[in-house]
Amino acid sequence: MTSFLDEPHHDGSVAYSAPGAHRLGDTVPVRVRVPSVPGRAGRDASVVLRSVRDGEPTFRAARVDGSDEAGAWFVADLAVDNPVTSYRFLVDPDRDYRWLTARGVARRDVSDAGDFRISVFDPPPDWVADQVVYQVFPDRFARSGHDRAVPDWAVPAAWDDPVVHQGRDTAHQWFGGDLDGVAEHLDHLTGLGATVLYLTPIFEGRSNHRYDAVTFDRIDPVLGGDEAFGRLLGAAHARGLRVLGDLTLNHTGAAHEWFQAAVADAAAPESGYYRFGRHPDEYASWLGVPSLPKLDHRSAAMRTALYEGPGSAVARWLDFGLDSWRIDVANMTGRLGADDLTHEVARTVRRTMAAGHPDAWLLAEHGHDAAFDLLGDGWHGTMDYAGFSRPVWSWLRGGPDEPRVAQGTPFAGQPIPIPSLPGGAVVATMREVHAGAPWAAWSASTLHLDSHDTPRFRTVVGGGASGWVDHQGRGRARHLVGLALQMTMPGVPAVFAGDELGLTGVDGEHSRTPFPWSRAAEWDGPTVEVYRRWIALRRTHVALRRGGLRWADAGDESMTYLREHPEERLLVHAARGPHTPVRLSLGGLGARGAETLEGEPARADGGVLELPAAGPGAHVYRLV
């Protein structure tokens, strides 16, 4: 096991740094917690702030700002000299030579890549931190009973038919869910405690997923059209739910009205919207898929039509009542060969949104390291696959009772099965990935156990591969540990519809199971109830929504961390299996005891807090 409680700590949360918005020329106080260790009180340490101004390091001594039995607070004045200012701390240079960065503590020289960062760009909307997102794939959530004509591209299926997830019918199997059906079941979302409805694309397309839009000007009639969308927005808002839309800026479908005009006439204005080689048969497309031609963001006319200014699709649907946007394949948008316009696209979308809807959230899909794309005034946050989903998969997939089901499940698009990693490695990955972006961007990113693009988490942790509910509960215990991590870490939890029932699936398409409303007796009832409980816990406690993250301990089978906020301090202990008991000094925690909020009680004896050693399981304590 590795203990972190004797290491100095800083993060970008309100307990350690003044929240934005900051402006050039501001001075921001930044705080460091230096623990007391045997033979040396925290207040006897020395701390120096190193920041980078115009590319040159500068140094400023920190001063003691209070102390207690557990250690001392140091504060230094950080000058905001550049749009993004990076900084770190040198602790006890005359004794230990420790650099404190966002990656942790290093007793050696380090690069600037892991520095903390603060920016002058407007922070994400304040409401985002308090949300729990519920993701719906419209074709598979609910039928309203309205008579919808079968689209000519569709292969109709009965609601309880198995999902086709390989072969030519995969994108065309049509179950007939619609937006009125979603509206009729919003009480399920609010009953769980969700506050944001995220809809995958609803523009007219020629597939069940609709990432191949044929227009951005109307909602698919198969889903009920603009009128049904208006009804859904009204029903959602009446229940206090915000609605997050899904828009592809990287490509359209080959049947899109713009692409059809471009193919028909090389001189048409729309031909400049795409990247043609030899017209009309050679053109750039998403990952070489010809049905998804790639947009050319050098085209001013295309930008105006899609996302720049009040007449664009981005602005018009916000005016219609949509609350925010998630941008599909944002990591590839604007990038092709020597051209890299991604940051310009993100900035333009954000300006468009801010002009008419300054409270809107701009979320980017990014399956890999998104840090470089989160430094500016573009995307507010990303889908945190790299810093949350993949590390959690690789921890809860492994262990002494290694689930065999996951052995053949591909790992985030890589040609390997999911690895089995110990808790210490998972913590290191999380810290390294999150170190690259400002705290505000990390906090406005979504935490996914899975999504419509991945295997179901229940399958990943050993719950079967049937595409149906894990009736045996084989993966339930580890699934619920993952849920605990999702609901207690910084970021915005995002639940994919059906996870709360214990649904399984071996890949993204297989995971798009029609929601079994008529088979409620077959749901995994205990999982549903635990989802409600953990979501309520998160929504009740400000430290889980807005607190910092300070690691306390990591072992092969367990991870323990603090969520700290000026109003409360919570301790989270998660275990994937039985382990050697974790014992933490109450003095080191700055506490007299621990009140159980979830899970089993901890034992306090002789100034030591001993956490439950059984597993799988997860526990939350309020430090008192």
Q: Which residue has the higher pLDDT, 353 or 19?
A: 353
Please give the C-alpha separations between residue 332 and each of 206, 281, 378, 613, in angstroms, as whole numbers: 22, 22, 14, 44
Is residue 268 classed as helix, strand or coil in its secondary structure?
coil
Q: Name residue 28's beta-bridge partners.
A: 78
Asked whether residue 413 carries a pLDDT value surpassing 80, the answer given is no
Question: What pLDDT does 247 receive?
Answer: 98
Distance of CA 188 to the CA centre of its chain: 22
pLDDT in tens, 259-286: 999 999 999 999 999 999 999 999 999 9
Q: Report helix, strand or coil for 586.
A: helix
Q: Percent of the chain scored above 70 by pLDDT? A: 98
Model pLDDT, residue 386: 96
State mean pLDDT over 573-585: 97
pLDDT band at 409 (very low <50, low <70, confident <90, very high): low
CB half-sphere exposure, 88, CA atoms < 13 A: 21
Among 34-48, 225-239, 336-350, the least confident range: 34-48
Q: What is the largest CA-CA distance in the chain?
A: 82
pLDDT score of 398:
53
For the segment 244-258, what is each residue's pLDDT rounded down to a tens digit?
999 999 999 999 999
- How far is Cα 180 from Cα 143, in angstroms, rounded to an integer? 7
Tokens 């227009």 -> residue: 215
Residue 518 is encoded by which pair of tokens?
Answer: 């008529």
- Amino acid code (one letter) for 537: L
Both structure tokens of 447: 């935490």
Question: What tens digit of pLDDT does each residue of 87-106 get?
Answer: 999 999 888 899 999 999 99
The model's pLDDT over 488-540, given as tens digits with 9 standing for 90+, comes to 999 999 999 999 999 999 999 999 999 999 999 999 999 999 999 999 999 99
pLDDT of 177: 98
C-beta separation of 623 from 587 below 8 A? no
Residue of 346, 347, 365 whose CA lies nearest to 211: 365
pLDDT tens across 350-360, in order?
Answer: 999 999 999 99
Domains, the chain, with CATH or none: 2-119 (2.60.40.10), 130-542 (3.20.20.80), 548-623 (2.60.40.1180)
- Residues 196-215: pLDDT tens digits? 999 999 999 999 999 999 99
Distances (CA, A) of 1 to 342, 401, 497, 556, 562: 41, 20, 36, 7, 17
Q: Characterize the bridge pairing of strands 335-336 and 155-156.
A: unpaired
Whether residue 616 is preceded by a cis peptide bond, meaning omega within 30 degrees of 0, is yes
Average pLDDT of the chain to the nearest whole number: 95
Q: Is the pLDDT assigned to residue 403 strictly greater than 70?
A: no
The identity of residue 137, as a single letter, is: F
Helix/strand/coil for 559: strand
Calculate Rg over the CA atoms of the chain: 25
Which residue, chain included where needed, has tokens 């939890």?
493
Whether a cis peptide bond, with omega within 30° of 0, leads into 162 is no
Instruction: Say what the pLDDT of residue 20 is.
Output: 82
Rounded to two decimals, the pTM is: 0.97
Residue 406 confidence (pLDDT) above 60 = no
Check pLDDT > 50 for residue 399: no
Tokens standing for residue 611: 């956490």
For 510, the 3-state DSSP assignment is coil
- Residue 340's alpha-carbon distances to 283, 311, 336, 385, 497, in angstroms, are 18, 25, 7, 22, 35
Q: Where residue 407 falls among pLDDT bands split at 50, 70, 90? A: low
User: What phi-psi label fits residue 611: left (phi over 0), alpha (psi between -120 and 50 degrees) or beta?
Assistant: beta
Give residue 283's region: left, alpha or beta (phi > 0; psi -120 to 50).
beta
The secondary structure of 379-401 as a DSSP string is -SEEB-IIIIIHHHHHHHT-STT
